[in-house]
Amino acid sequence: MLYIEKKNYMIKDQMIDFNGILIATKSCGSGKDAIIFIHGSCMSSDTWLPQLNNQELNSKYRLIAFDLPGNGQSGWFKNDTKGYRPKNITPLIKTIIEKFNVERYLLVGLSYGTNIIGEIDPPLPNCAGILLEGVCIVNDAFPASAIITPGPNGHVIVAANPTDQELRDYTFLNVKSKEVGERFIKSYRSADPAFREELGKAMAESDMGDELENIRNWKLPVCVIFGKEEKLVKTDYLNGFEPLWNKKVYHIENASHVVNEEAPEEFNKILLSFAAEVFK
């Protein structure tokens, strides 16, 4: 089932400062425990609307999503674009926690959002669990070149301005849903091209840490979700990852890379079960 966006008056839009640029945030829900959502490269917090508009999630938890720097409605780094590298974005998570007065929380990352979580070192306090979707966390044993399988137009991930045809071919090879794909293309074109270029430089210069070990160091349950039709990332490389919740990787029917949008009912069901357990 494809999520159809609905207006929800309960979602509050707010801009906050981070290293001199404005970060667009969305928040809603109630309860003392929070779920913080981190989207993928060249996307926006809109990708989390199927979760932000979910009645059960709203009734139990505070839900917080935000646009990464250079993405969505957030500002762009004009002087030092190295601020876009994942290790330099990680302090934003602490800023979000402080600005929203979050006590206990669950981190949810999609695609590049999983790398941002993976770069957090040392672990932040009061986190109850981590959910990783469309995972592409890396280390020396699993470099990006070994786990990412993007097809013939993989350069789109790090290119400043690929052609429209290259972008469409890349997108619809890796995204099952036409609507999700069209939204990605729009958000890709509105993102700062330097954001993608800095991601490429970070990978080329090995400017990324041991993200698997960093996540192990949280000593928390980690829920890993892939779509059964995932093509962008190898889906078996975390099968033996020690912190796995329920000792398994979840593979969701009728979904590819963006499971939370393509199969929101199943994704939300897993998220609710995971949150209920880690927030006990």
What are the structure tokens assigned to 30, written together?
């109630």
Tens of pLDDT, residues 7-60: 454 899 999 999 999 999 999 999 899 999 999 999 999 999 999 999 999 999
Helices of type H across the chain = 49-52, 55-60, 86-89, 91-99, 112-118, 144-147, 164-174, 178-190, 193-204, 211-216, 259-262, 264-278
Beta pairing class for 127-133 and 222-227:
parallel
Residue 48 is assigned to a structural domain of this protein: yes
- How many residues in total does the chain contain? 280
Residue 1 is assigned to a structural domain of this protein: no
Range of the domain at 61: 12-278
Domain with 202 in it: what CATH number?
A: 3.40.50.1820
- The mean pLDDT value for 171-182 works out to 96
Overall domain count for the chain: 1
Per the prediction, the chain carries an average pLDDT of 95
Residue 129 is assigned to a structural domain of this protein: yes
Beta pairing class for 21-29 and 12-18:
antiparallel
Is the Cβ–Cβ distance between 95 and 73 less than 8 Å? no
Residue 5 is assigned to a structural domain of this protein: no
Residue 4 is assigned to a structural domain of this protein: no
- Is residue 71 pLDDT above 90, yes or no? yes
Tens of pLDDT, residues 222-255: 999 999 999 999 999 999 999 999 999 999 999 9
Residue 2 is assigned to a structural domain of this protein: no
Residue 259 is assigned to a structural domain of this protein: yes
Residue 195 is assigned to a structural domain of this protein: yes
- The mean pLDDT value for 196-222 works out to 97
